[in-house]
């Protein structure tokens, strides 16, 4: 049976607003981010979640808590759902005085799958750990409705992995703060590999 996954991104943080490389730095939601999380909760207020999983980072966990509200589903932190680690780049910005390596930054924009950040991760490493986490989640909740709260780059690589999108679509996958995708995920009966169909959540409140 297919599992319904609601894959969300956290609300805004001050580092998002300042366009800083955030990664695994545990930056909390700002006021705008908390308002975005509440607005997302309103959009999903009719969805009955049987389970919920989140990145351990506060911005994702607090967004998930807002969406769950008074729901009885426990929120489980999963390390594999954490954001891409930028390593030495974390806390830097894209203005000239904050850039670590303009050449590597250009390659990150033009060929992101070829980059491994100094002291950090590559997108393939993120894909491998995130895919393993989602495989365990889907196996634990066949036919269930599950909330997964993640991050912009994490969500992009998961959508590419689950929907079979080309890797060069990475930057074209929109991931604004407090965005949401609804995915129907199951395992291929022949190979056991996860496959999915899905689309962005509608702007109006969902009722399931």
Active-site residue list: 10, 83
Q: How far is CA 168 from the centre of its chain?
A: 18
Q: Which helix (H) or strand (E) holds 135?
A: helix 123-140
- Please say whether the beta carbons of 61 and 8 come within 8 A: no
- Nearest partner of 37 among 153, 198, 149, judged by Cα: 149
CA distance 131 to 154: 10
Instruction: Count how many residues are written for the chain.
Output: 208
Residue with tokens 């894209």: 94
């Amino acid at each position: 049976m297919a599992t319904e996954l609601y894959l969300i991104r956290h609300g805004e943080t001050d580092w998002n607003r300042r366009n800083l490389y955030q990664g695994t730095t545990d930056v909390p939601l700002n006021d705008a981010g908390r308002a975005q999380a509440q607005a997302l909760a309103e959009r999903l207020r009719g969805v009955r979640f049987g389970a919920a999983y989140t990145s351990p980072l506060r911005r994702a966990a607090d967004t998930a808590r807002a969406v769950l509200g008074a729901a009885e589903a426990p929120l489980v932190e999963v390390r594999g759902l954490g954001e891409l680690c930028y390593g030495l780049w974390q806390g830097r910005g894209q203005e000239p005085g904050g850039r670590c390596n303009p050449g590597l930054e250009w390659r990150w924009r033009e060929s992101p799958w070829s980059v491994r950040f100094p002291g950090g991760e590559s997108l393939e490493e993120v894909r491998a750990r995130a895919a393993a986490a989602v495989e365990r989640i889907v196996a634990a909740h066949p036919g269930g409705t599950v909330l997964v709260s993640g991050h912009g780059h994490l969500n992009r690589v998961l959508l590419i992995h689950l929907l079979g999108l080309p890797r060069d679509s990475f930057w074209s996958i929109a991931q604004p703060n407090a965005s949401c995708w609804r995915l129907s995920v199951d395992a291929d009966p022949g190979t056991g590999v996860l496959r999915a169909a899905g689309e962005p959540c509608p702007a109006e409140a969902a009722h399931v």
